[in-house]
Each structure stands twice: as C-alpha cells, then as structure tokens.
Amino acid sequence: MKTNLTLTLNKEVIEQAKKYAANKGESLSEMVENYFKYIIHSKAEYEEGQLTPRVKKLRAVLKVDSDFNYKDVLNEAKSTKHGL
C-alpha cells in the first residue's frame, strides 16, 4: 500500500536530490523509500554487541600476528600515558 509523506527540506537540497535520483534512473520518492528500507533493515539485522559491516571492514585493515594480545598493548599504553 502506498501513501503520501510530506517532508520539509531546503529547496537546494531537494533540487540536488532530484538530479541525483534522475541520474540513477529513480524518482525522488523511490530514492527516499529505498533509503528508509536500507536504514530500517541494516539496523534491525544487528543486535547489540554484533559488529556492523563498517566495523568489520575496519577490522580487516589492521593485520597482526595470531598471538597478538590487544589487552597487553592497551595496558602498556595506559601505563605509559599515566606513568603507572
């Protein structure tokens, strides 16, 4: 079922969004609906404590040895910083 939604946005933002949607072959309504679907589903998929795709992607950036213990490194950094 489709229904109307009224949004109040800056005129320049609306014009730029319309151009963007047209370049993607979508209407502005389709683009907004797809964005809402994206944020609803992406947030619902991850329960508290689970890693989001963004965090998982960041984890892959750092390569460490298999015996790396981040707690030891953290404690050492705290000791250095606070002079303990």
State the virtual CA torsion across 69, 73, 78, 84 in degrees, nearest 10. 90
CB atoms under 10 Å from CB of 56, counted, come to 10
| 2 assigned to some structural domain | no
Tell me the mean pLDDT in the region 60-72: 79
Q: Per the domain annotation, does 5 fall within a domain?
A: no
| pLDDT tens track for 8-56 | 999 999 999 999 999 999 999 999 999 888 888 766 555 556 777 777 7
Do the domain assignments include residue 67?
yes
User: What's the number of domains the chain is made of?
Assistant: 1
Residues 54, 51: Cα–Cα separation, whole Å: 8
75: tokens are: 């404690």
Listed in sequence order, the residues at least 6 apart from 41 whose beta carbon sits closer than 8 Å to its beta carbon are: none
Local structure of 25: helix, strand or coil = coil
Expressed as residue numbers, the domain containing 24 is 11-82
pLDDT of residue 45: 59
Over residues 60-70, the mean pLDDT reads: 78
